[in-house]
Amino acid sequence: MIMGRKDKRWVLQRKKDFYYNLAKKQKYRSRATFKLFQLNEKFRFMKEGDIVVDLGCAPGGWLQAAREIVGEKGFVVGVDLQSVKPLPYDNVKTIKGDMTKEETIQKIREILYPAKPTVVISDASPNISGVWDVDHARSIELTTIALKIATKLLKEGGNFAVKVFQGDMFMDYVSLVEKYFEKVYPTKPRASRKESAEVYVVGKGYTGKPWEEEEPVKEEKVEEKIETEELLAKKIKEMRKLKTNKN
């Protein structure tokens, strides 16, 4: 494969990146591993013995961090569209599957049965188009699904942490998380690049409130497959209209 100028610049930048190099040195699978450690250092949503579900877990950096935190007595289940190279622990399992599909959630339940997770984390990223609005809308859609899964799986009192791409629906998303968790913190860990659109939302203390279908993403829309940018643009418009009607 021939590298373009942009690709070369990206490779050079990565070589100079502190967390990229640290991850390589410490044998973590991604620089994102440090984001989870830093988030947990600050908000303490994961501890020894916890049962953790990691949505969008490949290549497995967050799985490694979660396993380190929960230790031998805990358990970690990861889900990703991609296969994940197995980690050398009996208490880390992965599922190759789509987190937006009910059958995948059912597989998580089966692996954990009769226990329920105490923590749900998600670093899932939608396909990046490079168009800010489109990526933001896709991210809100995916993070709303992650929140919905958290309400369906978590034990009461459980915790949630999720990556979101910033945009004008971000504060609505934070309000949505606030409906289900006692305390909610929007945050950006040090290891997240300043120029990156990503931010994180931590929800502590799941209230046990069952999921309610509502804006910005309704169930039938989530299920709907986005085939074209045109359809997605229409969808963003609808989501904005719902938001305006709400205000």
Ligand X SMILES: C[S@@+](CC[C@H](N)C(=O)[O-])C[C@H]1O[C@@H](n2cnc3c(N)ncnc32)[C@H](O)[C@@H]1O
User: Does 82 participate in binding ligand X (rule CB under 6 A)?
Assistant: yes
Shorter beta-carbon distance to ligand X: residue 31 or 169: 31
Q: Which of 23, 52, 53, 56 binds ligand X (CB under 6 A)?
A: 56
User: Does 79 participate in binding ligand X (rule CB under 6 A)?
Assistant: yes
Tell me the Ramachandran region of residue 89: left when phi exceeds 0, alpha when psi lies from -120 to 50, beta otherwise.
Answer: beta
Query: Where do runs of H (alpha helix) occur along 113-197?
Result: 132-153, 170-178
User: Does 78 participate in binding ligand X (rule CB under 6 A)?
Assistant: no
Give residues 121-140 in contact with ligand X (rule: CB under 6 A): 123-125
**Helix, coil or strand: residue 172:** helix
Select which of 107, 163, 183, 221 is catalytic.
Answer: 163
User: What is the largest distance, in Å, between two alpha-carbon atoms of the chain?
Assistant: 53
Residue 142 one-letter amino acid: L
Q: How many whole angstroms separate alpha carbon 236 and alpha carbon 213? A: 18
Q: Which of 59, 107, 133, 240 binds ligand X (CB under 6 A)?
A: 59
Task: Kindly determine how many residues on this chain lie close enough to bind ligand X according to the rule CB under 6 A.
Answer: 21
User: Does 164 participate in binding ligand X (rule CB under 6 A)?
Assistant: no
Shorter beta-carbon distance to ligand X: residue 99 or 154: 99
Q: Which of 46, 60, 177, 189 binds ligand X (CB under 6 A)?
A: 60
Write phi, then psi, for 15 (nearest 5 degrees).
-60, -30
User: Does 57 participate in binding ligand X (rule CB under 6 A)?
Assistant: yes
List, as residue ranges, the binding site for S-adenosyl-L-methionine.
60, 62, 80, 98, 123
Residue 60's nearest CA partner among 3, 121, 1 is 121
Radius of gyration, CA atoms only, the chain: 18
| DSSP, residue by residue, 9-69 | HHHHHHHH-HHHHHHHHTT-S-THHHHHHHHHHHH----TT-EEEEES-TT-HHHHHHHHH
User: Least CB distance from residue 119 to ligand X, whole Å?
Assistant: 14
Please indicate whether residue 163 is annotated as part of the active site: yes
User: Does 62 participate in binding ligand X (rule CB under 6 A)?
Assistant: yes
Shorter beta-carbon distance to ligand X: residue 33 or 114: 33
User: Least CB distance from residue 246 to ligand X, whole Å?
Assistant: 26
Residues that bind ligand X (CB under 6 A): 29-30, 32-33, 56-62, 79-82, 98-100, 123-125
Would you name the residues annotated as active-site residues?
163
